[in-house]
Amino acid sequence: MAQVVAVCGMPGSGKGEFAAVLSAAKVPIVSMGDMIRAEVRARGLVEEPHVFGEVAAQLRAQHGEDVLAVRLCDRVDELLQSHDLVLIEGLRGTAEDAVFSARWNGAYRTVAIQADNELRFQRIVQRGRSEDGDRAAFEARNERERGWGLDVLINDATDVLVNDVELAEFQARCSAWLENVRNA
């Protein structure tokens, strides 16, 4: 049976690295963060850390907390027609989780990536994305995403992967997780 997996975690925890491992294994990825980045570009806004959060908050305020989930469900269904597993990268809110859970029921699971706050900040500094910014932006983003229910998602996740190791070891953990899911 085809499955949908949504990965969640605080900024810099390793969601993108998890997605990269699955992508290398030919699992299609649908990124919620890419949806926000595309919206920022479509609006012609300057790509600064606060802008991404403001656009995400505006979309949720105008169209409901589940707007991103609703917008990508049909795309995931299309991918499920030709793939046994589809990954949704960047689950951040309980409203989104409710949409996915209702849509795919028993064929849906979540994975939380956990990492220490300081380690996450160092990773964010190193990756240098336009939405990341400085320590204050990092803390503001953490609080905004907690406000959408990210802490609840992490605590209630079907599976948890701890990312407190070097990249190669984390990639091995992700690969082992994928193998277990596919063989279950």
Segment 69-119, tens digit of pLDDT:
999 999 999 999 999 999 999 898 999 999 999 999 999 999 999 999 999
Share of the chain above pLDDT 70, in %: 98
Domain range list for the chain: 3-178
Query: What residues have CB less than 8 Å from 17, skipping those under 6 apart?
Result: 163, 167, 170, 171, 174
List the CATH code of the domain at 3-178: 3.40.50.300
What tokens does 71 get? 């917008």
Nearest in space to 89 (alpha carbons), one of 139, 151, 21, 152: 21
169: burial class by Cβ within 10 Å (0-12, 13-18, 19+)? exposed
Nearest in space to 21 (alpha carbons), one of 32, 38, 5: 5
Average pLDDT of span 58-63 = 91
- Compute the half-sphere exposure of residue 68: CA atoms within 13 Å on the CB side of its CA: 30
- Predicted TM-score (pTM) of this structure: 0.88
At 52, the pLDDT band (50, 70, 90 cuts) reads: confident
At 34, the pLDDT band (50, 70, 90 cuts) reads: confident
Residues shown for the chain: 184
Nearest in space to 55 (alpha carbons), one of 43, 73, 64, 71: 43
Share of the chain above pLDDT 90, in %: 70
Q: Tell me, what's the pLDDT at 132?
A: 66
Q: Tell me, what's the pLDDT at 176?
A: 98
Q: Beta strand 108-114 with 85-91: parallel, antiparallel or unpaired?
A: unpaired
Q: Tell me, what's the pLDDT at 86?
A: 98
Looking at the predicted structure, is the pLDDT value of residue 7 above 70?
A: yes
Question: Which of 45-59, 96-110, 156-170 is predicted least confidently?
Answer: 45-59
What span, in angstroms and rounded, lies between the C-alpha atoms of 127 and 149?
A: 25
Q: Tell me, what's the pLDDT at 182?
A: 93
Q: What is the pLDDT of residues 123-135, one digit of tens each?
A: 988 877 766 678 8
Looking at the predicted structure, is the pLDDT value of residue 147 above 90?
A: no
